[in-house]
Amino acid sequence: MMRKEFITRSPEETISLAEKFGKYLHAGDVLAYLGDLGAGKTTFTRGLALGLGLKDLVTSPTFALVHVYGQPPLQLCHFDMYRISDENELETTGFYDYDLKESIFAVEWSENILSALPASAIRLTLERISDEERRIILETKEAERFADFRA
C-alpha cells in the first residue's frame, strides 16, 4: 500500500490538486472517498473532472445519487452513497449499471458500501483541519502509477 498525504489551504488548492490527480486516472478506476460532510469530496471531484478534460461543472449528487459527466469511452460517474446502507439499495444508484471499463467511479460516502468496492479501489480520505485547511490522504496498491504524483 502506498500512502501520500497533502494539505490544501483553500478550495482552489484542492481543485488544483485534484486536477493533477485526474491525469493519473483511467477508465476502470474506482476512487473511494472517505470523510465527513464538508470535508471537500465534491470540491475534489470538481477538480478531477477538469483533470479529465470534462468541462461540465460538478455539483453534489446528493439527491440524484449519481451524476455522470462525459461519455464512453471515458465518463465520470460521481456517486453519493450517504443514504445507501445495503447492496439492494446500491442497485438503485446505478452502481452496477455503468460499465466500469468505460468509466471512472468517484464515490462519496464509500464508508457505506465498503464491501461492494473492488480491492483495487483508490482511497482518498479528506479531513477538515480548520475552516480552510484540509488533509487529503491517498492510499493505493499501485505505488508505481502514482509515484510521480505531487501537488
Q: Rule CB under 5 A: which residues touch Mg ion?
A: 41-42, 60, 108
Binder of residue 10, out of ligand ADP, Mg ion, none (CB less than 5 to 8 A by kind)? ligand ADP
CB contact at 8 A, 110 and 81: yes
> CA torsion sign, 105 to 110 to 115 to 116?
negative
The contact set with ligand ADP (CB under 6 A) reads 8-11, 13-14, 35, 37-43, 60, 108, 132-134
Taking the C-alpha atoms of residue 90 and residue 113, their distance in angstroms, rounded to an integer, is 8
Binder of residue 37, out of Mg ion, ligand ADP, none (CB less than 5 to 8 A by kind)? ligand ADP
Select 14 or 75, whichever has its Cβ closest to ligand ADP. 14
Instruction: Determine the Cα angle at 10 with ends 9 and 14, to 5°.
Output: 95
Select 60 or 98, whichever has its Cβ closest to ligand ADP. 60
